[in-house]
Amino acid sequence: MSKYIIVGGVAGGATAAARLRRLDEHAEIVLFERGEDISFANCGLPYYVGDVIAERGDLLLQTPAKFRGMYNVDVRVCSEVVRVDTAQHTVEVRSADSVYTERYDALLLSPGAKPLRPPIPGIEHPRIATLRSVQDADRFRAMMETGRSVVVVGGGFIGVELAENFCERGLSVTLVEAMPHILPVFDTDMISLLEDELRRHGVELVLGDGVAGFEEQSDGGICVRLGSGREVHGDFVALAIGVRPDTSFLEGSDIALGARGHILVDEYMRTNVPDVYAVGDAVLTRSAQTGKEAALPLAGPANRQARLAADSMAGVGRAYRGVIGTAALKVFGRTAAATGQNERALQAAGLKYGEDYRFTVIFPRHHVTYYPGAQEIALKLMFRTSDGVILGAQAIGSEGVDKRIDVIAAAIGQSLTVADLQEFELSYAPPYSAAKDPVNMAGYAAENILQGRSVPLLPRELAAEVAAGAMLIDVRPPEEYHTGEIAGAQRIPLPQLRERLHEFDPKTPIIVCCKMGLRGYLAEQILRAHGFTAKNMVGGYYYLRMQHEEEI
Angle of helix 401-413 relative to helix 438-450, nearest 10 degrees, comes to: 50
Taking the C-alpha atoms of residue 53 and residue 337, their distance in angstroms, rounded to an integer, is 22
CB 174 within 8 A of CB 204: yes
Report the DSSP beta bridge partners of residue 389: 417
DSSP string across 146-199: H--EEEEE--SHHHHHHHHHHHHTT-EEEEEESSSSS-TTS-HHHHHHHHHHHH
Beta strands in 307-440 (DSSP E): 327-331, 334-340, 357-362, 377-384, 390-397
Cβ–Cβ contacts within 10 Å for residue 207, how many? 14
Taking the C-alpha atoms of residue 251 and residue 272, their distance in angstroms, rounded to an integer, is 14
CB 267 within 8 A of CB 179: no
CA triple 347-348-353, angle to 5 deg: 10
The CA–CA distances, whole Å, from 495 to 345, 456, 479, 516 equal 41, 21, 14, 17
3-state helix, strand, coil split of the chain in percent (to 5) is 30, 30, 40
CA triple 108-114-117, angle to 5 deg: 155
Taking the C-alpha atoms of residue 239 and residue 162, their distance in angstroms, rounded to an integer, is 10
Among candidate residues 343, 400, 287, 329, the one with its CA nearest the CA of residue 155? 329
CB 387 within 8 A of CB 448: no
Q: What sign does the dihedral 500-502-507-508 (CA atoms) show? A: negative
- Active site members: 43
C-alpha neighbours within 13 Å on the C-beta side of residue 380: 29
Parallel, antiparallel or unpaired: strands 243-245 and 172-177: unpaired
Instruction: Tell me which amino acid residue 425 is.
Output: E
CB 494 within 8 A of CB 513: no
